[in-house]
Copies of this chain bind each other. A is one copy, B any other.
Amino acid sequence: MKKHKMALLGVPLLALSATASAQGSVTLYGVLDTLVAVGQGSLTDRTQLTHSGNTTTRIGVRGVEDLGGGWSAGFVLEGGILTDNGAGMASNANNQAGAPSLGAAQGLTFNRRSTLSLFSPWGELRLGRDYVPSYSNMNTFDSFGNAGVGTAIMALLGVTSSTPAGIRASNSIAYHLPAGTLGGLYGNAMIAWGENAQGTPNEDDGDYQGVRLGWAQGPWNVAFATGKLKQLGNDSRPRNYGFTYNFGTVTYALGFADERLGGIKGKGIQTGVEWRVGVGQVRASYGSYKRETGLEPETRKLAVGYVHNLSKRTAVYTTFAHVSNKGGAGYALNGSTTAANQSSRGLDIGLRHAF
């Protein structure tokens, strides 16, 4: 049997708009986003084929079942994919450092989201692994949707991106306000456990609490979030707030971050616009971030980009970004390296397809 004959087989998943049965629906979905990413720094440059320049790549299955009386059950299982090589991404079991790096041997996990929910008229109870409130909230103010070289730097200290439970927490129980019934009010509160053995010095490590509260009405979307993660001698406390205002074809965003990691504080500001132009979208943002330690290292980033939608599901895009550093900072873009106080540039050119 020749390989090309295999292409005739397979189970077509009918691409209809959701004609869910009375009992509910289950959906297979995903995003592939592959790009050429160029980085330039004062020390080394880099060119890569990589993933997630416009939207983070993923594959997932989600479902919802109507239980009657305004109640329903639902789930999401969603994992990241390195579309440049096909590997998956690891999860984190206990909201603490130390997950192994398996590179291209990393199999698919549902690292992005693994949740089981019970919805009622009074809100949603959500169990499992999910975004922490402060990360969902920060994303509101990022005109580049936290993907690619244009990603906001308002939380550069890493409290909301590279620390454990900075983006997501495992072992979490969350309550989400019901959608659409509170006059624009939305929000959620989450607790998560590190699940360490009792009686050890790091007994509480990985324990997390956080909350998000926002209000979206007409052109306004105003949101605030804060959280706290225990990590032996290095607790983190992310916090951010801001708003977006929609002028019609233009959406303006302004956000502030104020974070603490152990004894270090950091402050960020992020502002940007998204402008719909025909089937395209122009995006621009400016952000700065300063650590309140030593020489007060500071980084500033300017990013501009264009997304050309070939359809509702498919787009080509490009983003250019420039960062400048001072106070000893040496932040560089797209895998390049740059010396302290030097600048760096990055360019993304990619293709994104959702299904």
Contact = CB atoms under 8 A, between A and B. Distances in A.
A296 interface: no
A105 B106 contact: yes
Interface residue tally of chain A, by bracket?
35 or more
B87 A313 contact: no
A311 B23 contact: yes
Contacts of A1: 54-55, 145, 307, 315, 352, 354
Contact of A86 (B91, B105, B145, B307): B91
Interface stretch (A193-201, A224-232, A233-241): A193-201
A340 B199 CA distance: 19
A83 B114 CA distance: 6
Interface in A102-125: 102-114, 116, 118, 125
A139 to B, nearest CB: 7
Nearest to A315: B1
Given A99-B104, A106-B105, A15 B11 contact: yes
A204 interface: no
A34 B46 CA distance: 44
Interface string A244-261: 000000000000000000
Interface stretch (A69-77, A155-163, A287-295): A69-77
B90 A113 contact: no
A160 to B, nearest CB: 15
Contact of A21 (B2, B15, B192): B15
B12 A313 contact: no
A14 interface: yes
Contacts of A214: none
A192 to B, nearest CB: 8
Interface in A30-81: 30-34, 36, 44-50, 54-55, 59, 61-63, 65, 67, 71, 73-75, 77, 79, 81
- Which of A6, A49, A352 has most B Cβ within 10 Å? A49
Given A13-B26, A84-B129, A90-B104, 13 more contacts: A1-B354, A12-B17, A15-B20, A30-B77, A59-B61, A73-B313, A79-B108, A85-B170, A86-B109, A86-B112, A90-B105, A93-B103, A100-B103
28 contacts: A6-B55, A12-B16, A13-B28, A14-B19, A15-B26, A30-B61, A32-B116, A34-B127, A36-B173, A46-B195, A49-B171, A49-B193, A50-B171, A65-B313, A67-B314, A73-B353, A75-B353, A83-B128, A84-B129, A85-B91, A86-B109, A86-B111, A88-B107, A102-B102, A104-B111, A104-B170, A107-B107, A116-B351
